[in-house]
Amino acid sequence: MDISGASAIVTGGASGIGAASARLLAKRGAKVVVADLQEDKGQELAKEIGGAFCKVDVTKTEDIINAVEMAKSMGPLRVLVNSAGIGWAQRTVGKDGSYDSAANLDAFKKVIAINLIGSFDCIRLAATAMSVTEPLAHGERGAIVNIASVAAFDGQIGQASYSASKGGVVGMTLPIARDLAAIGVRVNTVAPGLIDTPIYGDGDNSEAFKANLQKGVLFPQRLGGPEELASMVIECITNSYMNAESIRVDGGIRMPPK
């Protein structure tokens, strides 16, 4: 699919995998809306790539609509990358046997609200806009890529909410792809392994932590780069025969229980 001159929305686009994806989309000629809560980083990236920034909380439908409308003003909307997400770690039960020490239910709901429901809200609204764009060859109108995680398959201790949210993203990929086939929109999901993003922090302690993490990677034994993940995102967008797939990009890692 040729995305030159089209518009694209990247949620969580101000940093990490989202920012790398936004840069590659811009290199391919797309006009990118960086949709994020981080205004300073988002504005800076948008200026760098000749795109636009839209402050978006993916749990707020009106914010998503604002991003969609902004994208439509820049060109036909043909791309959505769902990269916004948060992590949370907590044990399901506490150590003292009290109900109060059990996992925080509000925290569980928040992760689901952002990672899963937010992704679906973005899909349903962006796909609505895509449905009325002029079709390309073979009736193609657009492509959507969700960012899940290997935690969808290999969830570790404490990752119940995160794994549930990412597992939900994987689980809805096929039915949504089947649904959106009627309007010529493809849907794929990319599941990253251990990617070197700002989530791990900076400094000596951060580097030591990452060095320990990468021991479980099969080959190459290191953390992945955001650009390596973004290249798969772009392939899912531009390869018109990629549809309804969930693809691990993880160096062969299979996460242990903890």
Active site members: 162
Whole-number Å distance between alpha carbons of 130 and 137: 15
- Expressed in percent and rounded to 5, the helix, strand and coil fractions of the chain are 50, 15, 35
Query: Which DSSP helix (H) or strand (E) runs through 81?
Result: strand 77-82
Residue whose structure tokens are 């025969």? 241
Start-end of H helices in 13-159:
16-27, 39-49, 61-74, 105-112, 118-130
Is 143 in contact with 184 (CB distance < 8 Å)? no
Joined tokens for residue 179? 């649904």
Q: Mapping DSSP to helix (H, G, I), strand (E, B) and coil, where does residue 10 land? A: strand
Handedness of CA 140, 144, 150, 151 (dihedral sign): negative
What is the 8-class DSSP label of residue 87? Answer: -
Whole-number Å distance between alpha carbons of 233 and 236: 5
